[in-house]
Amino acid sequence: MKPMPEDWERAIAVVAHPDDLEYGVASAVARWTRQGKTVTYLLATKGEAGIAGLSPDQTGPLRMEEELRSAELVGVSGVEFLDYPDGLVEYGVPLRRDLAAVFRRHKPEVVITMSFDLTWGEEGPVNHADHRAVGLAVLDACRDAANGWVFPEAGPPSNSIKDAYVAAVGEPNYFVDVTDSIDAGIASLREHRAYLDGLGGEFDPDEFLRNMAGFIGLGAGCEYAVAFRRYPMG
Ligand SMILES: [Zn+2]
């Protein structure tokens, strides 16, 4: 793995649900915003179907609030929600259009998203359908954003995006050293209180994130790291 280049100013991180970015990526976001970079979040859903025993009407606003607090702790400048139905996000032209419209408006150089692999690791559980739909659509929308003949109704084309980086993949090729920013990442995950309580059990954000980032750090040559797979767009 190589260190991820940091010669950029603006990134947008796009995922399906409140909490997706807090399971690792937020530690890297904290590092970037401390460097003065601008990072915004875009969520396809409000995560309203994410807590068993709590109705979507109650859960949606609660999880949006949690996401806003999480984002603030790592210096994110803005959080937007596309309001697709949680659990039922479909890969397709409408999703690509909505993503391309946001990319054209924000003009990020770097786009971050999460794994769209079918499973988590070789023998791991099946990756959520929403994650698969969103991750793949994000990569396609990076190209769509630059093509003025595609989605002309979604704003003027922009070829700002140089690279997309996908987190939580089986075969990463870039890493970000988060040794100095993992504390903010842990605090960010702790903000998802209602969600974590809903899972029950004894989940410890500190232990979970340090274990994962420590394992990646072993391969990266630093104490804690977050790994990505790079997809060049230029
Ligand atoms: Zn998710």
What is the whole-number distance in angstroms between the Cα of residue 156 and the centre of ligand 1?
Answer: 31
pLDDT tens, residue by residue, 156-200: 999 999 999 999 998 999 999 999 999 999 999 999 988 888 887
Residues in the chain: 234
Write out pLDDT tens, residues 95-117.
999 999 999 999 999 999 999 99
**19 alpha carbon to ligand 1 midpoint, in Å?**
7
Q: Residue 107 C-alpha to ligand 1 middle, in angstroms? A: 25
Dig out the tokens for 196 from the structure.
């974590």
Distance (angstroms) between ligand 1 centre and the Cα of 128 equals 7
Beta bridge mates, 115: none
pTM: 0.97
Residue 155: how many CB atoms within 10 A of its CB? 15
Query: Alpha helix locations (H) across the chain?
Result: 25-34, 56-73, 93-106, 129-146, 182-190, 193-199, 205-220
**Residue 130: pLDDT over 80:** yes
